[in-house]
Amino acid sequence: MTDKHREATGFQEQAPYDESIDLRTDFVMVYGLNDTTAQRIARWREAGYRVHLMTGISWGTYQDYLDGRWDGTDHWADAQTTGDGKPILHGHSTDIPYMVPTFSFTEYLVQKLRPIIELGVEGIHLEEPEFWARAGYSESFKREWQAFFKEPWQPPHSSPEAHFRAGQLKQHLLSRSLDRVTSVLRDDALQQGRDVHFYVPTHSLLNYTQWQIISPESRLRTLPSIDGAIAQVWTGTSRTPNVYAGVVAERTFETAYLEYGIAQDLTRGTDRRMWFLHDPIEDHPDRTWEDYLANYQRTLIASLLHPGVSRYEVAPWPNRIFNRPYLREGTDERELIPPDTATSYLIAMNSLRDLDQPDVRWDQEGPRIGIALSDTAMFQRWSPGGESGHYDGLQDALALEGREQLHFSDFYGLALPPLFDGQRVAPVQLENVIDTPDALDDVDVLVLSYEFQKPLAPSIHYALAGWVNRGGSLLYVGDGADPYHEIRSWWTGRYETCADHLAEALGADRDGIQWIGKGRVRFLPVRPAEFTESPERAAELVAAIRELAEAGGHTWQSTNWLSVRRGPYLIGAVLDGNHVVEGNYLDLLDPGLGIVQRRELGPGQLTWLRDLSYDSQPLLASAGRVVDWVSDEGGISFTCEAPRGVQVTTALRVPTEPTAVSTEYEYDAGVIWLHHPGEPGGTRVEIRL
């Protein structure tokens, strides 16, 4: 019962319209440019959707450009290339390379997308601007290097400086291409009297850094024709292993929580839109239904613990969710989606439209901990021994050769200890402090290191000094051993490391906690990765952050329970140990929408509950979209829309037990549960009271 113009929920799909994948969200992103695009757009619009178009900005079915059919010139020299001269291919493809965003490739994209404007789409999504850290050897990249740096190309893995500069250039090329495509197409649309919005679906800065990929990230805030982004966070990114307390493991919930946290900074404080992505399946095709569901719920709950965002891409590729078989635990047989799993997914997808709740209350109001993360972290993903390993979510990361590089322990050494202590931790985009005065308004203690990233401008330090003087607390962690301290940049030649300029800007030395104006600062001469080595080392970092927080007047309470209330919704996760939830709730993770009055949650368990005592709203939850609602003293009627082939459960609050219901139902203690098969056109439900 929400306005579709808000575009609170949507999905992307390349397959043609089919009733089994008609999720009844506000909008659909029709994927890909081919001879069927116009037909697919028209059919989804006919089904009642606001329609967007999505295509890749760095890869796609662009063979007519590569083989010369577009302009008579072969363009394989524009493929991203590794040191051995091989193109980097997307996924398991043999002819879809990642592209160097040259001027000619950018012009090709403009011409390919121009006809889309005339099809009347509301938005165009240019997804995944990506340049691999191990790339940078193609002839087109060498030319771009000379044009940008005004000096001969250097092999990117020949030195830390060459690799860092290659990363800067890659980000510049991607940003330049996005700016050109969106600006030209926006002007075309305006000339036609159309208002078309442009969005960039992108992985998080944390994931791109971990997977060794360069992307525009913070640059997206400054490109004038970009209207927002989709944070592409899902099981495939968030199950990438990391190290905490000496143990290497997948930590899907905790990693997703940090990924969604940094992704918000792409639009926070602007009028641009942000959607959080969830993926019920992920790209890896050989996991089980049970694995997919459990990890989907981990990313789902992680996203809901960030109440600053209330728009969601509920799924990419519903066709692969509802129409492809996958394994079940304990068997070698593949089967289509289990009925309860389908119902559970749809309850979550439909409940997400109600998350724009002004009443937000945290379980504990402790200090807010920011972990500074810079775009430059993407430029430092290099190991002196040579080329780093390749990982894109399709391999077994726990068995991957060279996986220590993949772990990104310098960052997780700072972020995971306070998170596992139950604190409200969120990465912070470091570049935002330059031109966004309130970038750190939601941070009480900022943890910063330059051992895996660098400040691109001295103005960052002056902004941090101003924040500290106004009352912020800054913990700098680093021993100065990172070889990237010696690259040519604004601090070299004058300061031994960029941390020395930070101390100068603050007016601080390196001894203990110092008061700077109304704030505090401490320098901790330790390599951040050391805090991943053992529980004792993790506790050392927590103690240092806590000392700063308490010096700033904050009350610190260690807990194993991370939770928030968003209106009637209680969302929570147990980090370790046990936690008991008591009250009168409806369980939104239960396909039966059962009532919960007491639940003991164990380590790693999650919950999403609707508080039945919060309000008197009659519609509690549904696996379908409820429209055309009519109610009076004599009864309730509405239409429930859902994909064909699923079993729909809807829970309503009613004043008395019904005398007649048009569907199967159950009743207990003021709640009625309705059951019927899904129909995209809608099932009319009549309830007599």
Q: What confidence tens digit (pLDDT) does each residue in 61-96 have?
A: 899 999 999 999 999 999 999 999 999 998 777 889
Check residue 384 and give its pLDDT. 47
Q: For 69, how many CA atoms within 13 A lie in the half-sphere containing its CB?
A: 5
Check residue 364 and give its pLDDT. 85
What is the distance of C-alpha 33 from the center of its chain?
A: 25
Q: For 192, how many CA atoms within 13 A lie in the half-sphere containing its CB?
A: 17
**Minimum mean pLDDT range among 94-98, 247-251, 307-311, 350-354:** 94-98
Q: Is pLDDT of 398 > 70?
A: no
Q: What is the CA radius of gyration of the chain?
A: 26
Encode pLDDT of 135-160 as tens digits. 999 999 999 999 999 999 999 989 99
> CA nearest 202: which of 267, 143, 140, 113?
267
Q: Integer distance in angstroms from the first to the last C-alpha of the chain?
A: 22
What is the distance of C-alpha 153 from the center of its chain?
A: 34
β-strand pairing of 228-231 with 579-587: unpaired
Encode pLDDT of 233-279 as tens digits. 999 999 999 999 999 999 999 999 999 999 999 999 999 999 999 99
What are the phi and psi torsion angles at 184 (to 5°)? -65, -45
Contacts of 23 (CB under 8 A, 6+ apart): 11, 314, 315, 318, 346, 349, 643
Mean pLDDT value of segment 594-614: 97
Check residue 386 and give its pLDDT. 44
> CA nearest 89: which of 76, 108, 74, 72?
76
Mean pLDDT value of segment 1-13: 89
The region that residue 669 occupies, defined by phi over 0 for left and psi between -120 and 50 for alpha, beta otherwise, is left
Q: Is pLDDT of 396 > 80?
A: no
Query: Which residues make beta-bridge pairs with 87?
Result: 81
Check residue 639 and give its pLDDT. 98
Check residue 387 and give its pLDDT. 46
Contacts of 594 (CB under 8 A, 6+ apart): 586, 587
* Separation of alpha carbons 608 and 617, rounded Å: 18
The region that residue 140 occupies, defined by phi over 0 for left and psi between -120 and 50 for alpha, beta otherwise, is alpha
Quickly name the fold that domain 368-551 has: Rossmann fold (3.40.50)
> CA nearest 419: which of 365, 369, 366?
369
8 Å CB contact between 196 and 117 = yes
* Separation of alpha carbons 199 and 197, rounded Å: 7
DSSP of 421-469, one letter per residue? Answer: TT-EEEEEETTHHHH-TTTTTT-SEEEE-SSS---SSTHHHHHHHHHHH
Assign 405 a pLDDT band (cuts: 50, 70, 90): confident
Which structure tokens are listed for 6?
Answer: 């808000």
The CA–CA distances, whole Å, from 544 to 25, 450, 484, 531, 575 equal: 46, 18, 26, 12, 21
8 Å CB contact between 584 and 595 = yes
β-strand pairing of 635-641 with 625-632: antiparallel
Higher pLDDT: 345 or 406? It is 345
8 Å CB contact between 616 and 593 = no
8 Å CB contact between 274 and 309 = yes
Which structure tokens are listed for 87?
Answer: 């193109």
Check residue 252 and give its pLDDT. 97
Say yes or no: domain 561-610 is CATH 2.40.50: no
Which structure tokens are listed for 372?
Answer: 């500074």
Mean pLDDT value of segment 473-502: 96
8 Å CB contact between 108 and 361 = no
Count of residues making up the chain: 689
Residue 21 three-state SS: helix
Mean pLDDT of the chain: 95
8 Å CB contact between 9 and 25 = yes
β-strand pairing of 123-127 with 197-202: parallel
Q: Is pLDDT of 14 > 70?
A: yes
* Separation of alpha carbons 507 and 490, rounded Å: 19
Assign 403 a pLDDT band (cuts: 50, 70, 90): low
Which structure tokens are listed for 16?
Answer: 């043609």
Q: Which residue is it, tokens 């500290």?
A: 468
CB neighbour class for 48 (10 Å; exposed up to 12, middle 13-18, buried from 19): middle
Mean pLDDT value of segment 34-54: 97
Mean pLDDT value of segment 171-181: 98
Contacts of 45 (CB under 8 A, 6+ apart): 51, 120
Mean pLDDT value of segment 592-601: 97
The CA–CA distances, whole Å, from 167 to 116, 163, 492, 589 equal: 32, 6, 19, 42
